[in-house]
Structure 1
Amino acid sequence: MLSRILVPMDDSDHAEHALEYALENHPDAEVTVLHVVGVPSMMMGDAVGLSLKDDLEEAAADRAETVFERAHEVAAERDRELETVVGIGHPARNVVDRADDYDTIVLGSHGADWNRATHRFLVGNVAETVTKRAPVPVTIVR
């Protein structure tokens, strides 16, 4: 029986489906939602807004708020509670680095930035990297 599940989540439908899967298929498990925000860099369009704030952790928490609100709604619809954690940096690395604290990882097959042109390069690589490097079982949900 699984007691602790990590669900990396962004604002994509695939991530929401992964959370639903974890909550519905593991009713007794403690579920933690992880949202990872990229490190500010002029080269990273997604994180440029973060570089304007003095406190990176506060900025990351602000960015994660919408994702966590939706995660709590999904959990409440199933009469469940969950924990939330904000990560800063590379998504796959954040997930793998935290994996030892969990029995399994459940993640969506594609993130919010997914489109046909960038599937393998940007987002498929997160799921692929986590699957290859995580020290615990990984479930990919479409």
Structure 2
Amino acid sequence: MVSICPSMSRILVPVDGSEHAENAFEYAVEHFPEDDIVALHVIELPEGYFAAFAEDTESLPQVEDAKERGHQILGDIESLAADLDAEVETEIISGNPPDKILSYVEDEDVDEIVIGSRGLSGVGRIMFGSVAEQVVRRSEVPVVVVH
């Protein structure tokens, strides 16, 4: 006899330190308690004038500061997971947030994305559209947007 057992899914929660990202993480824990949850922080690399003259944008002081902040954000998520009696895997990568989120989904076999409706940036959202909006439009897996 073959035992049919539903396999666990991988749920990706992009986090940026915003209240909406925290709400998205809490939603994922509540609605996907048996699944693997990954909290991903993407460090946006500088572009334009200063980046053009840098040999390695990853070593620029503002990127080093962003990496430190990213580790703090993921530490906060790990603490929240412990408070919720949940397990979380954390990852930190660099690049364009929507692109990196979507490539992570493809490369790491993610089944669903749970993302906050708004992040920390305000002006960029008005000019370029939010990360959540770009992820929703381009994702090939289901996306839940949490307020």
Question: Partner of 1:141 in structure 2?
Answer: 146
Q: Are the equivalent residues in 2 in contact too, given 1:41–1:51 (CA < 8 A)?
A: no
**Structure 2 residue 29 is the aligned partner of structure 1 residue 23:** yes
Aligned ranges for residues 44-63 of structure 1 at < 5 Å?
51-52=60-61, 61-63=67-69
Partner of 1:106: 114
Letter paired with 1:125 = S
Q: Deviations over 1:63-118 (max 9, x none)?
A: 3111111101111111111111111011111111111221100000000123xx55
Task: Report the secondary structure of 1:15's partner residue.
Answer: helix
Q: Distance in 2 between matches of 1:73 and 1:134?
A: 29
- Equivalence map 1:1-142=2 (5 Å): 3-41=9-47, 51-52=60-61, 61-100=67-106, 101-114=109-122, 119-122=125-128, 124-142=129-147
Residues 34-90 of structure 1: CA deviation (Å, up to 9, x unaligned): 00111134658xxx996138xx6x765423111111101111111111111111011
Deviation at 1:132, TM superposition (A): 1.1
Q: Distance in 2 between matches of 1:80 and 1:19?
A: 11
Dislocated runs of 4+, deviation >3 Å: 40-44, 58-61, 117-120
Tell me if the contact between 2:118 and 2:130 (Cα under 8 Å) persists in the aligned partners: no
Question: What are the ranges of 5 or more consecutive residues in structure 2 without an aligned counterpart?
Answer: 1-5, 51-56
Can you list the C-alpha shifts for 1:6-51, whole angstroms capped at 9, x where unaligned? 000001000000000000111001000000111134658xxx9961
Q: Structure 1: any 5+ residue segments left out of the alignment?
A: none
Q: Decide which moves more: 58-67 or 12-21.
A: 58-67
The root-mean-square deviation of aligned C-alpha atoms, in Å, is: 2.6
| TM-score where L is the length of structure 2 | 0.79
Name the SS for the 2:87 alignment partner.
Answer: coil
- Equivalent AA in structure 2 for residue 134 of structure 1: S
Q: Could you tell which deviates more after superposition, 97-106 or 60-69?
A: 60-69
Is the 1:60–1:88 Cα contact (8 Å) retained in structure 2?
A: no
